[in-house]
C-alpha cells in the first residue's frame, strides 16, 4: 500500500512538473521571444536602445529559472555563460547604448534567443508528453466508466487506436490507458530529463567558450586566493603584534625587574611574579584563540560535523545541526566549509534578527553540500562589498558555489556546495 502511494505521489509530481514546464514554455518563451525580436528591431528607431536591456535581462532570468529547475528536478547542470557587465557603465543614453551593445555582443544572448524558439516548440511538446503520459490514461478510465455512451449515437470515438463504441471497447480503452500510465511511471522522468537536455544543448556554451570561461575563472580565483592569503597573514601578524607579542614583551620586562628586586624588595618581587604569571596565561589564551582562528583544533581532531556542532553551541539562539557525512574531506575543504558556515551564522546573528537557525550538511555525488537557514528578516544578497560576495570568491578557489534565497521578510537559506571526495 505504501509502495502504491509512493508511486502515485511521484506520478502526480512528475505530471505537475510537466504542466509547469509546458505552460512556461508556451506562455513565457513565446512572450519573451516576441518582445526580444520587436525590441531588437526597434533599436534602429531608438526605442529599442532603452527596452532591449530590460527585455534581455528578463530572458536571462527566464533561462536561469530553467537552469535551476533542470538541476533541481533532473540533476542536469547547465552552466551560466553570461559575460559580466562592467561596474563603471555610464548613465543616461550613452550608458543604455553601451549596455545594449555589450549584451548583443555576448554570444550567450543569441543562444538564449535560439533556446526560446526551440523551447516554445519542441521543448513544449516534450514537456506536455511527460504530462500526457499520466493525464491521457484518465480519459481511458472515464470512457470505461460510461463516458463512451455520450459518443454512442455519433459513431465510434477513437481513444488512441481503439474505437470506443461499447462497454467492451471502453474496457479496452481503460487497458490501453493503464499501459500508457505504466509507461509514464517508468519513462516520464526520462522524458522530462530530455526536455532539460534539449535546453542544455542550446543554453550551454561551446567547449572553446567554456574553456575560456574556465581559464578566466581560475585566474580570478587565483588572485582571490593570493589576496585572501595575504590578508590572513596580515591579520595574524597584527594579532600577534598587538596581543601575545606585547604581553610577552611586558612579561620579559617584569622578569628583569624581578631579577633586580628579588633581594632588595622580595614583597614587590612576588607581586611582579604574580603579574607575570597572569600575563603568561593571557598570552597563552590569545595564542590559542589565534590558532583556533587559523584552524580550530576540534576541526582537525573530530571533523567538520562536530566542529560545526561545537560552533553552534556558542551561538545565543536556538540552533539545529543535522550532519550526514559518510567520511571526511581534505583539510583545506573542511576548513573552507567550516569558516563559510561560521561567517554565514555570524551574519544571521548580527543582521537577520533571527531567533532560530538550522544547519544541514550532506554529501552526494562528489559534492559536499551545506545549507544554513534562519527565520530572520531576510534581504540577504550577494553583491559588491558584501560579506557573502567575499565568501563566494573564497569558495571559488575550490570550485565551490554559493546560492542565497532570502526574500524580504525571510526566511533565509544559504547553500554552499564544494566538489570533493571523502575518505
* Total-model pTM: 0.55
Give dist(CA 88, CA 84) in Å, integer.
12
The 3 state secondary structure assigned to 50-101 is HHHHHHHHHHHHHHHHHHHHHHHHHCCCCCCCCCCCCCCCCCHHHHHHHHHH
- Spatial neighbors of 351 by CB under 8 A, at least 6 apart, are 376, 380
Residue spans of the domains in the chain: they are 2-203, 223-294, 302-419
Q: Residue 404: in which H helix or E strand, if any?
A: strand 401-405
What is the chain's pLDDT, residue by residue, as a tens digit (423 residues)?
A: 567 777 777 878 888 888 889 999 999 999 999 999 999 998 888 888 889 999 999 999 999 889 888 888 888 888 877 877 776 666 666 678 888 888 888 888 999 999 999 999 999 999 988 888 877 787 778 777 777 676 666 566 777 777 777 778 778 878 888 888 888 878 888 888 999 999 998 888 766 665 665 666 556 556 555 555 555 566 556 656 666 666 667 677 767 777 777 777 777 777 777 777 777 776 666 666 555 555 566 777 788 888 888 888 888 888 888 888 888 888 888 888 888 888 888 888 887 777 888 888 888 888 888 888 888 887 776 654 556 777 777 777 777 888 777 777 778 888 888 888 887
What would be the CATH architecture of the domain defined by 302-419?
A: 2-Layer Sandwich (3.30)
Beta strands in 218-309 (DSSP E): none
Amino acid at each position: 500500500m505504501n509502495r502504491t502511494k509512493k508511486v502515485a505521489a511521484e506520478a502526480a509530481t512528475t505530471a505537475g512538473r510537466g504542466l509547469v514546464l509546458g505552460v512556461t514554455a508556451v506562455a513565457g518563451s513565446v512572450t519573451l521571444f516576441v518582445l526580444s525580436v520587436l525590441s531588437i528591431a526597434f533599436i534602429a528607431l531608438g526605442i529599442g536602445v532603452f527596452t532591449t536591456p530590460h527585455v534581455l535581462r528578463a530572458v536571462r532570468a527566464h533561462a536561469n529559472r530553467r537552469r535551476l529547475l533542470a538541476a533541481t528536478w533532473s540533476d542536469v547542470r547547465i552552466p551560466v555563460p553570461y559575460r559580466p557587465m562592467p561596474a563603471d557603465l555610464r548613465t543616461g543614453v550613452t550608458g543604455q547604448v553601451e549596455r545594449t551593445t555589450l549584451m548583443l555582443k555576448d554570444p550567450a544572448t543569441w543562444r538564449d534567443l535560439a533556446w526560446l524558439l526551440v523551447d516554445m516548440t519542441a521543448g513544449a511538446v516534450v514537456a506536455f508528453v511527460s504530462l500526457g503520459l499520466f493525464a491521457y490514461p484518465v480519459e481511458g478510465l472515464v470512457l470505461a466508466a460510461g463516458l463512451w455512451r455520450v459518443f454512442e449515437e455519433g459513431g465510434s470515438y477513437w481513444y488512441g487506436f481503439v474505437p470506443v463504441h461499447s462497454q467492451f471497447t471502453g474496457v479496452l480503452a481503460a487497458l490501453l490507458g493503464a499501459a500508457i500510465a505504466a509507461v509514464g511511471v517508468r519513462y516520464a522522468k526520462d522524458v522530462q530529463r530530455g526536455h532539460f537536455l534539449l535546453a542544455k544543448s542550446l543554453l550551454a556554451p561551446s567547449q572553446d567558450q567554456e574553456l575560456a570561461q574556465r581559464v578566466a575563472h581560475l585566474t580570478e580565483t587565483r588572485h582571490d586566493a593570493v589576496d585572501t592569503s595575504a590578508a590572513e597573514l596580515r591579520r595574524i601578524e597584527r594579532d600577534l603584534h598587538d596581543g601575545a607579542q606585547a604581553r610577552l614583551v611586558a612579561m620579559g620586562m617584569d622578569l628583569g625587574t624581578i631579577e633586580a628586586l628579588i633581594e632588595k624588595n622580595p614583597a614587590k618581587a612576588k607581586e611582579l611574579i604574580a603579574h607575570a604569571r597572569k600575563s603568561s596565561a593571557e598570552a597563552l589564551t590569545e595564542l590559542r584563540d589565534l590558532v583556533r582562528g587559523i584552524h580550530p583544533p576540534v576541526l582537525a581532531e573530530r571533523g567538520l560535523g562536530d566542529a560545526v556542532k561545537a560552533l553552534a553551541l556558542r551561538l545565543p539562539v536556538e540552533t539545529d545541526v543535522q550532519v550526514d557525512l559518510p567520511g571526511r574531506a581534505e583539510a583545506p575543504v573542511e576548513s573552507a566549509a567550516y569558516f563559510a558556515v561560521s561567517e554565514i551564522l555570524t551574519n544571521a546573528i548580527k543582521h537577520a534578527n533571527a531567533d532560530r537557525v538550522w544547519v544541514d550538511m550532506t554529501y552526494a555525488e562528489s559534492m559536499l553540500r551545506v545549507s544554513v537557514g534562519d527565520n530572520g528578516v531576510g534581504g540577504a544578497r550577494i553583491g559588491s562589498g558584501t560579506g557573502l560576495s567575499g565568501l563566494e570568491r573564497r569558495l571559488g578557489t575550490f570550485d565551490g558555489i554559493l546560492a542565497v534565497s532570502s526574500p524580504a521578510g525571510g526566511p533565509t537559506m544559504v547553500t554552499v556546495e564544494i566538489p570533493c571526495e571523502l575518505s
